[in-house]
Amino acid sequence: MTTRGDTPAITIIGSGFSGLGMAIKLKEAGFHDFVIVEKSSDVGGTWRENTYPGCACDVPSHLYSFSFHLNPHWSRMFSPQEEIWDYLRSCIDTYGLRPHLRFNTAVTALAYDDTAREWRISLASGETLTSKAVVTAAGALHIPKFPKIPGRERFQGTAFHSAQWDHTADLAERRVAVIGTGASAVQFIPRIAPQAASLTVFQRTPPWIHPKPDGDLPQRLFATVPGAARLFRNAIYWALESRGAGFAVDPRLMAPQERLARRHLARQVADPDLRAELTPDYTIGCKRILISNDFYPALQRDNVSLVTDPVAEIRERTIVDAAGREHEVDAIVYGTGFTVTGGLSVPHVTGRGGLRIQEAWKNGVEAYLGVTTSGFPNLFFLLGPNTGLGHNSVVFMIEAQVHYILECLRLLSKTKARGLDVLRSAQDDYNRRLRQRLDHAVWSAGGCRSWYLDRSGVNRSLWPGFSFEYWARTRTVKPSAYELIY
């Protein structure tokens, strides 16, 4: 039975970095009538869900955090998952968000009511909320992707995905296989390698890997010297941003980064055959550049072997590779990534005139500045289409978007309009220019295939420029790009 529930002016879906950042800034701007609905029982998003051994962010912590909530107590340059999760949980009480949070509340549908000019938000409980505006802050990478390998379901041993780590499974003294060598796998492989009786790593495409400049941080200094944490954060930002030229300007500018990765590989792997197997054949940056000091050493342990032939089949107790070799294993860990959602995790979304979002996006997931999409008034995306980054912190992008959404809400207050809907022409024009830049960028021209590209090979995930350029474009709202609905 459907019951009519609350009517918060704004509903935020998700309580990871995006949802919490939005909530904090809403309060600060004087918008107190909002709710954060969270499908799980705690905040944290990806930092709540990913608990695999070695899980840490590969962006330095002083930058991978809110600019308005600096934390002088990051223990390391790249702090572990528990610390990032704690940081996010600390925001609840610091910013008084508890009364706004509704846990264990999954959204099943969003429908725009043309007459009332508001959103109806259906919850799994059967309840319906109504809101003037909805902010989807669900993240793009949270649905674990399992590979379509024949026989996968026949496997009789332990098997799980890196994002659903089974902490009850004891991998010690077991024969373990890992499928995948992406950002997650390079973090957990060095942790499980010393415990396992044997570890077989199935690599489809080698990643480019840079050294990881990790280490303990001087917490006292950051806590006591005024401005030190801010200065450090800014220095990291500009150091990372300077790497953006190869992405934003010309892939040929990636050359120094490739030299660094080749030197790292040469320094860590002496065996020329293994080195050849670990050398990518695509331009660096085409896939996410990984950082690790312990992945190559882990692969050279006596109990670890690297298989570069594709996985052909999985049987009850073995994995068969394309060369016909059968590898006996007790456990399989899938480090095979995520199904990309474009920032929308709600299955049913209908906008003006009953327009289904799947219909609006039939040619691909698209938005204006990655935040608004035509036909869906007052529906705002955080980390929506083409707002991910290959070279800097996405928290920076989130903050720029939060600011932009606040500007949209202020425009609504000022004009007394009920809603704003981005014009199709403005969205098309924006995306046409975006495509022109993306076609020449390394993610499309670099000779690889990654989750950044959709089925048609179009990059729907990343921002093609410098992050400060995105920041500049999201400072103000152009009223001419929107239809105001009264």
- In terms of CB distance, is 208 or 338 closer to ligand NAP? 338
The partner residues of 174 in beta bridges, in order of sequence, read: none
CB of 187 to ligand NAP, least distance (A): 6
Name the one range near ligand NAP by CB under 6 A: 179-187, 239-247, 297-305, 438-446.
179-187
Q: Give residue 380's Cα distance to chain centre.
A: 17
Instruction: Give dist(CA 140, CA 142) in Å, integer.
Output: 6
Dihedral sign for Cα 138, 342, 165, 303, please. negative
Q: Which two tokens stand for residue 333?
A: 């860990």
Using DSSP, state whether 187 is helix, strand or coil: helix
Select from 11, 79, 184, 401 the one that contacts ligand NAP (CB under 6 A).
184
Select from 15, 136, 268, 336 the one that contacts ligand NAP (CB under 6 A).
336
- In terms of CB distance, is 49 or 118 closer to ligand NAP? 49
- CA 84 vs CA 59, 64, 80, 212: distances in Å: 12, 9, 7, 18
- In terms of CB distance, is 383 or 402 closer to ligand NAP? 383
CB of 149 to ligand NAP, least distance (A): 6
Instruction: Give dist(CA 19, CA 15) in Å, integer.
Output: 4
By CB under 6 A, residue 419 contacts ligand NAP = no
Select from 6, 42, 58, 127 the one that contacts ligand NAP (CB under 6 A).
58
Strand 338-340 to 419-422 pairing:
unpaired
By CB under 6 A, residue 400 contacts ligand NAP = no
Q: Give residue 340's Cα distance to chain centre.
A: 9
- CA 255 vs CA 25, 247, 252: distances in Å: 40, 12, 6
By CB under 6 A, residue 288 contacts ligand NAP = yes
By CB under 6 A, residue 257 contacts ligand NAP = no
- In terms of CB distance, is 5 or 144 closer to ligand NAP? 144
CB of 163 to ligand NAP, least distance (A): 7
For residue 139, count CB atoms less than 10 angstroms from its CB and return exposed for 0-12, middle for 13-18, buried for 19 or more: buried
Instruction: Give dist(CA 424, CA 375) in Å, integer.
Output: 8
Question: What are the b/e assignments for 346-379, b being 16+ CB within 10 Å?
Answer: beebbbbeeeebeebbeeebbbbbbbbbbbbbbb
Q: Which two tokens stand for residue 347?
A: 């299955």
CB of 171 to ligand NAP, least distance (A): 18
- In terms of CB distance, is 66 or 430 closer to ligand NAP? 66
Select from 57, 171, 201, 420 the one that contacts ligand NAP (CB under 6 A).
57
Select from 45, 244, 285, 337 the one that contacts ligand NAP (CB under 6 A).
337
- In terms of CB distance, is 59 or 196 closer to ligand NAP? 59
By CB under 6 A, residue 179 contacts ligand NAP = yes
Interacting positions 451-470 with ligand NAP (CB under 6 A): 451
Interacting positions 117-156 with ligand NAP (CB under 6 A): 141, 147, 149
- In terms of CB distance, is 274 or 485 closer to ligand NAP? 274
Give me the residues that bind ligand NAP (CB under 6 A), please.
57-59, 141, 147, 149, 162, 179-185, 202, 204-205, 288, 311, 335-338, 451
